Structure 1
């Protein structure tokens, strides 16, 4: 197994991949000089407002512009430390899929003054069409 990857749990599932619709992930934004004063407010406003257009690679190898807003089903935020802002998001897992990295890309594009020096993303759970955790 590659360095830095740990298996927390393993199990067989009867749920088909095509039925997985939501992904809950934790995005940690790290700021060397501390979390900017207005970061929580402006990031919340960005994702709760109008369209948030980002570029996404297509299956054919090209790029397409896509609006993240309809693919975000939940977002909460907390200041984890003086240098870290932690977002917990619930996003579309497929059709269309929303990689949590796209939210970081949007912050960098629309809020350059809130751009983190580093971002970590941890997938927490995947849910099926009924909202049940994938098992």
Structure 2
């Protein structure tokens, strides 16, 4: 297990930094901040950093986790501000702490999904979406590198722990708790199901925000 973790916020234009580019960004940030961290071994060593739950491009988050290793006796309290000052706009490190809990205990993710409608939310949209996600089974197709066809089937319902709804004049806000891993559920699949099953309720624009990562008891994971 890595020695330390940081939690960081990713918003604004930083949402469009891909996972691999984000890893490189943090490797450079540690170097620019003068923070010595563990490196990989071999002929071409590089700073070891790992983001255990990659965020999709375009999603915002206030609870991203990055794992790394500091030398013994390093000042963890100084890490957040030293990193933040050399990171791109939209990425803010909020805390640094020892990695005590194994990653397998990260079980759920709290996502806020906002469905926006240019002409106002359709009449009955909230109830229709409630009924859709209240089914006993809701099977959709998703891309899969392992399947020969490039597609695999997944039932969304067992992967949805909870959904709370807030209807507004021009939007529907869905406060969801979804499985994080083994298998995890990308909230974009929920929107894809709405577009496919209820096309008259399809939003004109969707935003996704990762609010919290949780353990099996729905307590904050750190």
1:9 corresponds to: 94
Matched, 1:77 2:165: yes
Alpha-carbon distance between aligned partners in 2 of 1:10 and 1:104, rounded to the nearest angstrom: 32
Distance 1:37 1:97, change over 3 A: same
Q: Which secondary structure state, in structure 1, belongs to the residue aligned with residue 207 of structure 2? A: strand
Alpha-carbon distance between aligned partners in 1 of 2:91 and 2:117, rounded to the nearest angstrom: 26
Instruction: Choose which of 57, 76, 100 in structure 1 pairs with 2:187.
Output: 100
Q: Which secondary structure state, in structure 2, belongs to the residue aligned with residue 125 of structure 1? A: strand
Gaps of 5+ in 1: none
Matched, 1:120 2:193: no
Q: Which secondary structure state, in structure 1, belongs to the residue aligned with residue 111 of structure 2? A: strand
Shift of 1:134: 1.3
1:23 corresponds to: 109
Taking structure 1 as the reference length, the TM-score comes to 0.89
Shift of 1:72: 0.7
Alpha-carbon distance between aligned partners in 1 of 2:115 and 2:162, rounded to the nearest angstrom: 17
Report the structure number with the largest CA radius of gyration: 2
2:87 corresponds to: none
1:110 corresponds to: 197
Alpha-carbon distance between aligned partners in 1 of 2:191 and 2:184, rounded to the nearest angstrom: 15
User: Would you say how many aligned residue pairs link Structure 1 and Structure 2?
Assistant: 134
Q: Which is richer in strand?
A: 1
Which protein, 1 or 2, shows the higher relative CO under an 8 Å CA cutoff with sep ≥ 6?
1
Distance 1:56 1:10, change over 3 A: farther
> RMSD across aligned C-alpha pairs, in angstroms?
1.9
